[in-house]
């Protein structure tokens, strides 16, 4: 995934109202930009942090710029635009770079959960004779050097997804929960029980029901992003 036009640099002043951030651009001008992240962004939104943002060509947008990367105090690059996780996974599936899936796999996005028309999962992948329901979660919460956790805020939606995958697995469907690490300083992933214990319980029940849980990490530069290998997943809750 390439950034076109290229990312522009700036400095974060504050993130607020969940979807907005004030920054100064490289010329020192103040800008209010869109922040596509509903989480707490713990450790990813410190005032004074170096940031990078995209610019949309859509002139109808109230805020044409979108916050993409934040650099933390350790110098690690973090993608805070959670929409990028699904795009990266879709790209990897289509190019046959996601382990366990062939290049010829058919990929559908935003599919209804069987038996629950109100529910949606991120992907349904048809590969040879098997189909797999996949839900993707982006990981940016770093608790200690190398240790990542999900979620960074209480998420009833994430719990519902874990429960839906467990039900499907119990019905004999192939299912996968895929954590996409968007933080250069994270080398493993575990549930953040101290943030959302209900999610941790639901995740472990899903594993016991037969849901496959994997974690992959993104290689990130100012020019492009790409899924680049797997990292370990630990079902035991990570400690702050």
| Number of Cβ within a 10 Å radius of residue 146 | 11
Both ends of the chain: CA-CA distance in Å?
33
Using the Cα atoms of residue 27, residue 29, residue 32 and residue 38 in order, give the sign of their dihedral.
Answer: positive
CA distance 98 to 102: 8
pLDDT given for residue 117 in this prediction: 66
**What residues of the chain score a pLDDT lower than 70?**
104, 117-118
* pLDDT for res 128: 78
Interhelix angle 156-170/197-209, nearest 10 degrees: 10
CA 101, 107, 113, 118 dihedral sign is positive
* Cα separation, 184 vs 237, whole angstroms: 21
**CA distance linking residue 211 with residue 179, whole number of Å:** 13
pLDDT, tens only, 77-92: 999 999 999 999 999 9
Q: Which residue has the tokens 């797997």?
A: 230
CA distance 180 to 64: 26
Long-range contacts made by residues 200-205, C-beta under 8 angstroms, separation at least 24? 200/237, 202/159, 202/162, 202/163, 202/166, 203/162, 203/177, 203/235, 204/235, 205/162, 205/163, 205/166
pLDDT in tens, 181-214: 999 999 999 999 999 999 999 999 999 999 999 9
Q: How far apart are CA 235 and CA 143, in angstroms?
A: 15
Rounded Cα gap, residues 228 and 124, in angstroms? 22
């Amino acid at each position: 995934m390439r950034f076109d036009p290229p990312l522009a640099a700036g400095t974060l002043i504050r993130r607020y109202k969940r979807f907005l951030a004030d920054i100064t651009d490289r010329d020192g001008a103040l800008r209010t930009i869109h922040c596509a992240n509903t989480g707490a962004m713990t450790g990813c939104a410190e005032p004074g942090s170096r940031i990078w943002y995209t610019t949309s060509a859509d002139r109808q947008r109230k805020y044409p710029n979108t916050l993409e990367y934040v650099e933390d105090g350790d110098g690690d690059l973090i993608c805070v635009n959670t929409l990028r996780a699904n795009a990266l996974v879709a790209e990897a599936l289509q190019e046959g770079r996601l382990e366990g899936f062939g290049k010829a796999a058919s990929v559908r996005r935003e599919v209804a959960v069987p038996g629950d028309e109100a529910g949606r999962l991120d992907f349904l992948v048809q590969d040879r004779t098997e189909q797999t329901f996949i839900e993707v979660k982006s990981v940016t919460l770093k608790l200690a050097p190398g240790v990542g956790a999900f979620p960074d805020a209480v998420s009833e939606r994430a719990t519902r997804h874990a429960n839906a995958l467990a039900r499907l697995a119990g019905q004999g469907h192939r299912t996968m929960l895929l954590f996409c690490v968007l933080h250069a300083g994270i080398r493993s992933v575990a549930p953040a029980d101290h943030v959302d214990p209900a999610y941790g319980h639901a995740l472990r029940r899903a594993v016991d029901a037969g849901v496959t849980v994997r974690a992959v990490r993104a290689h990130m530069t100012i020019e492009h992003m790409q899924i680049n290998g797997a990292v370990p997943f630990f079902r035991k809750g990570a400690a702050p």
